């Protein structure tokens, strides 16, 4: 198989590339910059800004499947930047797939497209999209997912996967950010601390993508629809995090802030940041508070049925490998 991955230099993109290369598939990356890790894997790299459509068709020619993983994440920033990367970038990917005759597109979405700021326990894809969004990331990911799935047609089969809270040994975002905030004394349990949350080990997320790319074709049940992806069982998130902290010789987080108070404080801080045009990300946002204090885990029945999703790495092994990687980075002084 000849695969193209947008954002292959990222955490999930690299995991997908590793999995494809391990079985002998040819892989091409499209990203704004080059990555030594992809060179080591034997991945062909093309530098291109996806928000610019010119010249993209040629890059997509001769490809059997596109994994559109690239996105602008984060909790803060100008809406126009999120639109350019997440929406316009996806429009350009779809257009290039059509023009180059690519038969399959696997779009990487986000469960935040359905998040309404309160508990989502055991929900499936019928929950639909949120009517309002707490931040531009989830808003633009919802727009992009809709337009990607709308492109599903006899000439281009499209599916969307929504992996939730990806973690692993080389995690550059989730756990490192929480560890740094904890070290700085800025981490609090928001709400009652009893909320259960779905996590996704990075190799499980990659396996779901590769399986979707293999099975996808127009007329298949997966064509034209989204799927939640995570490890099979949710965790009580603060118990899980405190277990990670203790394993890294950090004290557990015990101080709590009521959810309502945290939301009020976050709204005030957001107002100050916008009003004064302060640079950087505010220390807390309403989206962060809502995510951390709510339960959100998903019914994976559809992914298991239609994609044959069966996570290859269990929770104990995933945690062991993650801690091993984190300890190595701490010892090296990079975390």
**307 to 228, 240, 299: CA distances (angstroms):** 11, 28, 14
What is the pLDDT confidence band of residue 317, given thresholds at 50, 70 and 90?
very high
Fold topology of 2-165+199-231+296-312: Rossmann fold (3.40.50)
Q: Which residue has the higher pLDDT, 179 or 267?
A: 179
Q: What percent of the chain is modeled with pLDDT above 70?
A: 100
- Residues across the chain: 335
How large is the average pLDDT for residues 110-129?
92
State the chain's mean pLDDT as an integer.
93
3-state secondary structure of 149: helix
Q: Give pLDDT, residue 277.
A: 72
Q: Give pLDDT, residue 231.
A: 97
How large is the average pLDDT for residues 198-223?
97
Strand ranges inside 25-136, DSSP E: 26-31, 44-47, 65-68, 104-108, 120-123
Q: Give pLDDT, residue 287.
A: 78
Tokens of 328: 């190595």
For 260-305, the pLDDT digits (tens) are 887 888 788 878 887 777 777 787 788 778 788 899 999 999 999 9
Task: Report how far residue 51's alpha carbon sits from residue 183's, in angstroms, rounded to the nearest whole number.
Answer: 37
Q: Let me know: does 160 contact 113? Beta carbons within 8 Å.
A: no
Task: Report how far residue 300's alpha carbon sits from residue 304's, in angstroms, rounded to the nearest whole number.
Answer: 6
Tokens of 70: 């690239």
Q: Which residue has the higher pLDDT, 208 or 282?
A: 208
How large is the average pLDDT for residues 210-239?
97
Cite the active site residues: 137
């Amino acid at each position: 198989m000849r695969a193209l991955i947008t954002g292959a230099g990222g955490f999930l993109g690299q995991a997908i590339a590793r999995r494809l290369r391990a079985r002998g598939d040819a892989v091409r990356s499209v990203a704004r910059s080059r990555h030594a890790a992809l060179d080591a894997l034997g991945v062909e790299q093309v530098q291109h800004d996806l928000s610019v459509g010119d010249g993209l068709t040629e890059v997509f020619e001769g490809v059997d499947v596109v994994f559109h993983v690239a996105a602008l994440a984060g909790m803060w920033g100008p809406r126009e930047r999120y639109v350019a990367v997440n929406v316009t970038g996806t429009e350009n990917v779809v257009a290039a797939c059509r023009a180059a005759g690519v038969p399959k597109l696997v779009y990487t979405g986000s469960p935040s497209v359905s998040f309404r700021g309160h508990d989502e326990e055991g929900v499936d894809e019928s929950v639909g999209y949120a009517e309002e969004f707490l931040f531009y990331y989830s808003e633009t990911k919802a727009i992009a997912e809709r337009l990607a799935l709308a492109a599903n047609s006899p000439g281009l089969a499209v599916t969307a996967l929504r992996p939730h809270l990806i973690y692993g040994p080389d995690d550059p975002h989730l756990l490192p950010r929480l560890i740094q905030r904890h070290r700085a004394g800025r981490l609090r349990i928001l709400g009652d601390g009893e909320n259960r949350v779905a996590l996704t080990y990075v190799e499980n997320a990659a396996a779901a993508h590769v399986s979707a790319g293999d099975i996808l074709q127009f007329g298949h049940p997966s064509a034209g629809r989204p799927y939640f992806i995570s490890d099979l069982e949710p965790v009580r998130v603060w118990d899980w995090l405190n277990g990670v902290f203790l394993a890294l010789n950090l004290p557990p987080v015990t101080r709590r802030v009521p959810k309502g108070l945290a939301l009020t404080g976050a709204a005030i801080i957001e107002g100050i940041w916008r009003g004064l045009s302060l640079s950087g990300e505010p220390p807390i946002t309403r989206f962060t508070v809502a995510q951390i204090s709510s339960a959100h885990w998903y019914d994976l029945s559809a992914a298991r049925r239609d994609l044959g999703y069966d996570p290859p790495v269990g929770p104990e092994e995933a945690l062991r490998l993650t801690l091993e990687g984190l300890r190595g980075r701490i010892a090296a002084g990079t975390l």
